[in-house]
Structure 1
Amino acid sequence: MITFSSTKPLKPPSSFPPFLHSVPPSASFRFPPIPSIRNPPSRLRILSLDAAQTFDYETQFKSQYLKSNALKIAVVGFGNFGQFLSKTILRHGHTVLPHSRSDYSLAAADLGLTFFHDLNDLCEQHPEVVLLSTSILSTEKVLAKFPFQRLRRNTLFVDVLSVKEFPRSLMVKYLPEEFDILCTHPMFGPESGKGSWAGLPFVFDKVRVGNDPYRVSRCNKFLSIFEKEGCRMVEMSCAEHDRYAAGSQFVTHTMGRVLEKFGLQSSPINTKGYETLMNLVKNTAGDSFDLYYGLFMYNKNALEQLQKLDMAFESLKKDLFGHLHHVYRNQLFGASVEKPVLYLEQKLLTNGTIPVEAPSIEICREER
């Protein structure tokens, strides 16, 4: 609704029927089309724009709907990733209760949140969902000291760790049987997901969710946060996730850290491929080494992938030195040589270098 103010009083056009000037408020009728005003009032000024009134039921119903669908979510581990998730959770109208070992009270205040230094105080707020965003290495320590007795008996626990079988076994071990368990992994972070989550994979496994309609609805409400953000929702078992993640996430982090140690630097003639490698280093080096170590330590498939990477690199070196030896052989004996110098070739492929004890050219010719 827009209210106008003018220096000249506005009068109804003379063409209006006389009865319109004395219509009781309760009357119901259709107004005829308002004729155009030839001389509009000068210096119009807007006094109010769509002011909410006490009878604005649309706004009231919307507010009640949002409150009825809101979850009270405790974020345990309010570091970089915990804050990253909390911003989106808040945007969907849910309540966030942050806690961490380190003091993130200023970061919480920036989001309009109250930071809980004591885990007991947090649990007494009776959150419906406890979101574990701790590091992989500290998860067991957190669960072992968690004051479960201060929570509601069927609280939903959700983890967002990069490995899945490890936290699954810990939650089954430490959580009371009445508690629900949802293992998830948003396969993106503050760097890769800072623009949009649309199309990014979100893996989840409903390890233990009660059949009660409230508990089913609560779990679905939490998952809907990522659905509404456009994530590609992938439901799979924790074991299956770890098998795939070892071949994708662990390998990605390994290559990023190798290139970081290599000292990859920008140049005036960067190619698209080189820029991709630099972005890989940026995305992986920003994570703590504890995360990378956790990917290796608590995913039984990671060691196998590391060995495969090592074997692939050695195989590539042998291919390179093998072709190099072919060039040397042609330079020494000419392109018409029918048989390779087996001794020299075998040594080169085995050691990756030209052996010092290689026979002289004359000896090779005699053997030929």
Structure 2
Amino acid sequence: MGADFFSDPHDLCEQHPDVIILCTSIISTESVLKSLPLQRLKRNTLFVDVLSVKEFPRNIFLQVLPDHFDILCTHPMFGPESGKHSWQNLAFVFDKVRIGDEDSRLARVDNFLNIFKKEGCRMVEMTCADHDKYAAGSQFITHTMGRILEKLQLESTPINTKGYETLLDLVENTASDSFDLYYGLFMYNENAMEQLERLDLAFEALKKELFGHLHDVLRKQLFGKSEEGGERSPALAKLSKNGTPLLPPAPPQ
């Protein structure tokens, strides 16, 4: 590709790059940024990140980088699996957090974004806060469901439905990412905990709905005819605290 590699960040910064893109894990971003010798860079260097969370790198950039550096927070909403064939119509989210008003600096940001625009990405300008709100309800939930299904150790069968194939694909796409990524999506997005709690409540509500229908079926079986005649049957259905019917144990073999 003609790219130069520098094992020492001092050597990299002494090349005075126009743009520095942090392609780090979420949990290592702060330490990597603070390891760079910023004093060796040009005073108008553009810093870009590509993390799956946005408010966290935005805040770190604003805290660590002097005011004369430009800041662009981005998130390509695709990875090596979903974007391996084409980037056409795949979302690329960006927020021009802090850009100098000189024409050259404005043009540099546009030139950087045009790299993705020319590849067919759907360019979405959005604040970091809005990104994290939406991503918690989509990306984090998607990864959570994939991780849950992975724990079930789903396997392909001779009679797979299209829906089941979709679940297998979900497991493959999410489980192939590192757990550090998933942990970062949870730890560094303030909206993730709320989504986790909503997911838990939704599962409990679904179980109650199922058990409620089962309770009605058992009640009709136990009391159906006597209730129709206005009589009360002495037989009672034993129910657990959460409403799950406690059926009698199976007879010994």
Settle same-fold status: TM greater than 0.5.
Answer: yes
Stretches of structure 2 lacking an aligned partner (at least 5 in a row): 249-253
Report the counterpart of residue 251 of structure 2 in structure 1.
Answer: none
Alignment of 1:270-349 (within 5 A): 270-334=160-224, 337=227, 347-348=239-240
Question: Residue type matched to 1:156 in 2?
Answer: L
Q: CA deviation at 1:282?
A: 1.0
Q: Distance in 2 between matches of 1:345 and 1:311?
A: 26
Q: Distance in 2 between matches of 1:128 and 1:311?
A: 48
Q: Distance in 1 between matches of 2:77 and 2:4?
A: 28
**1:317 and 1:352 in contact (8 A); partners too:** no
Q: Distance in 2 between matches of 1:136 and 1:201?
A: 20
Report the counterpart of residue 244 of structure 2 in structure 1.
Answer: 353
Structure number with greater Rg is 1
SS of residue in 1 equivalent to 2:96: strand
Q: CA deviation at 1:123?
A: 1.1
Report the counterpart of residue 137 of structure 1 in structure 2.
Answer: 27
Report the counterpart of residue 262 of structure 1 in structure 2.
Answer: 152
Q: CA deviation at 1:176?
A: 1.2
Find out whether 1:250 has 2:143 as its counterpart. no
Q: Distance in 1 between matches of 2:239 and 2:123?
A: 52
The 1:328/1:167 distance shift into structure 2, 3 A limit, reads same
Report the counterpart of residue 228 of structure 1 in structure 2.
Answer: 118
Report the counterpart of residue 153 of structure 1 in structure 2.
Answer: 43
Q: 2:94 aligns with which of 193, 198, 204?
A: 204
**2:238 and 2:245 in contact (8 A); partners too:** no
Q: 1:177 aligns with which of 46, 55, 67?
A: 67
Give aligned-pair identity as a percent: 68
SS of residue in 2 equivalent to 1:206: strand
**1:322 and 1:345 in contact (8 A); partners too:** no
SS of residue in 1 equivalent to 2:217: helix
SS of residue in 1 equivalent to 2:75: strand
**1:159 and 1:167 in contact (8 A); partners too:** yes
Q: CA deviation at 1:272?
A: 0.8
Question: Residue type matched to 1:214 in 2?
Answer: S
Q: Distance in 2 between matches of 1:346 and 1:315?
A: 21
Q: Distance in 2 between matches of 1:316 and 1:150?
A: 58
The 1:345/1:227 distance shift into structure 2, 3 A limit, reads farther
Deviation digits for residues 313-347 of structure 1, max 9, x if unmatched? Answer: 01111111111111111211226736999xx7894
| Higher RCO (CA 8 Å, separation ≥ 6 residues) | 2
Q: Distance in 1 between matches of 2:82 and 2:243?
A: 39
Q: CA deviation at 1:352?
A: 4.2
Stretches of structure 1 lacking an aligned partner (at least 5 in a row): 1-110, 358-368
State the aligned residue count: 244
Q: CA deviation at 1:146?
A: 1.3
Q: Distance in 2 between matches of 1:198 and 1:164?
A: 23
The 1:355/1:274 distance shift into structure 2, 3 A limit, reads closer
Q: CA deviation at 1:183?
A: 0.4
Q: CA deviation at 1:147?
A: 0.6
Q: CA deviation at 1:356?
A: 8.0
**2:29 and 2:57 in contact (8 A); partners too:** yes
Q: Distance in 1 between matches of 2:110 and 2:102?
A: 13
Q: Distance in 1 between matches of 2:225 and 2:85?
A: 57
